[in-house]
Amino acid sequence: MSKQFKLPEDADLARADSLAREIFSDVANKWALLIIEAIGDGTRRFTELRASVDGISHKMLTQNLRLLERNGLVERFVHPTVPPRVDYTLTEPGRELRKTVDAMCAWTTRYLREIETARRSFDA
């Protein structure tokens, strides 16, 4: 049985393990990863993200931004102006995670053709 997460020898190892699974579930989803990628190394506003993450709904964006914020991957700056302006940036953990997302995107591009071919042969 391969363990997905290497954990420190800890008294409550089981708790840490379940926490790891929980975090992984939060993070290993399409929208969260695409949002992280969209924020990138910049500062993005809500509307910018909405436009930049293709196909995401208003609700999904807020929901996932809250999730990312709660896990400390994204920082939220509310400008006390009217109309309101909110800027999102990645935190250090967020930036680190982004590196792996970058790798996943690169992987997708790299194997695009192979995958297309595999699909065609499978569908036949």
Partner DNA sequence: CAGTATCCCCAATGATACTG
Partner DNA sequence: CAGTATCATTGGGGATACTG
Of the residues 7, 14, 86, 105, which one makes contact with DNA according to CB under 7 A = 86
Q: Does 21 bind a copy of itself (CB under 8 A)?
A: yes
Q: Which amino acid is at 115?
A: I
Q: Does 47 bind a copy of itself (CB under 8 A)?
A: no
Please identify, among the stretches 56-64, 82-90, 102-110, the one whose residues bind a copy of itself according to the rule CB under 8 A. Answer: 102-110
The angle at the Cα of 38, spanning 102 to 40, to the nearest 5 degrees, equals 65
Q: Does 43 bind DNA (CB under 7 A)?
A: no
- The 3-state secondary structure of 70-109 reads HCCCEEEEEECCCCCEEEEEECHHHHHHHHHHHHHHHHHH
Tell me whether residue 66 or residue 110 sits nearer to DNA (CB atom).
66
**Cβ atoms of residues 88 and 45 within 8 Å:** yes
Q: Which residues bind DNA (CB under 7 A)?
A: 45-47, 55-60, 62-63, 65-66, 76, 78, 83-86
